[in-house]
């Protein structure tokens, strides 16, 4: 039986529109009353994306505290109290933000490693969402291949650091990892 008093780390991994965010939100609603939604997406004049964000905000409801943080997930985690759950949606967009900010692979890898260290002893329950991008075709551009490779590597590192990992396909979860929470 899992101990609910000790913070947990959970990764929801899947393709686009697979249902991973919905299932991650359901998990958070079922485990904690104090919920923080960390949005890593930045919107710059994209009307369709603004509409999607508004829809997701309405669907989540009012019982979430929203934090928009496109870069400093590690700083955010370090500054968080020990109550409730933090849902980070999504790691793939976080990586995209770093690549578009001209971070080197070494800088991106350093951020991922730091995140994994924090996930080893989280200040609160942390639920992460990420896209599995390696199931499709090989990207045509070098930037696309770089992104795919970094995302695949990052997903492996984060999955190794989390106690529970679920792969989502067609809205259905497949448990890949489920470790007992000590404490």
Q: Is residue 65 annotated as a catalytic residue, yes or no? A: no
User: 3-class SS at 6?
Assistant: coil
Cα 166 from Cα 172, distance rounded (Å): 9
Token pair 């994306």 in the structure block, residue: 49
Cα 96 from Cα 148, distance rounded (Å): 10
Provide the H-helix boundaries in the chain. Answer: 20-31, 47-60, 73-78, 91-100, 105-120, 142-161
Give the bridge partners for 169, in sequence order. 172
Of 22, 29, 31, 56, the active-site residue reads 56
Cα→Cα distances 77→89, 148, 178, Å: 14, 25, 22
Contacts of 145 (CB under 8 A, 6+ apart): 138, 139
Q: How many of the other CB atoms lie within 10 Å of CB of 8? A: 21
- Token pair listed for 11: 């990764």
User: What residues are labeled active site?
Assistant: 56
């Amino acid at each position: 039986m899992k101990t609910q008093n000790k913070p947990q780390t959970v990764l929801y991994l899947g393709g686009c529109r697979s249902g991973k965010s919905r299932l991650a939100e359901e998990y958070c609603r079922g485990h904690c009353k104090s919920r923080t939604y960390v949005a890593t997406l930045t919107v710059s004049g994209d009307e369709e994306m603004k509409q999607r964000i508004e829809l997701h905000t309405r669907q989540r409801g009012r019982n979430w505290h929203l934090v928009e943080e496109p870069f400093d997930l590690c700083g955010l985690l370090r500054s968080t109290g020990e109550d409730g759950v933090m849902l980070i949606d999504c790691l793939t967009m976080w990586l995209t933000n770093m690549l578009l900010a001209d971070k080197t692979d070494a800088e991106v890898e350093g951020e991922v490693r730091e995140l994994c260290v924090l996930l080893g002893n989280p200040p609160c329950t942390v639920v992460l969402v990420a896209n599995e991008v390696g199931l499709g075709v090989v990207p045509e551009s070098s930037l696309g291949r770089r992104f795919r490779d970094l995302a695949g590597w990052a997903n492996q590192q984060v999955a190794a650091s989390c106690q529970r990992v679920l792969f989502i396909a067609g809205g259905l979860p497949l448990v890949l990892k489920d470790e007992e929470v000590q404490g």
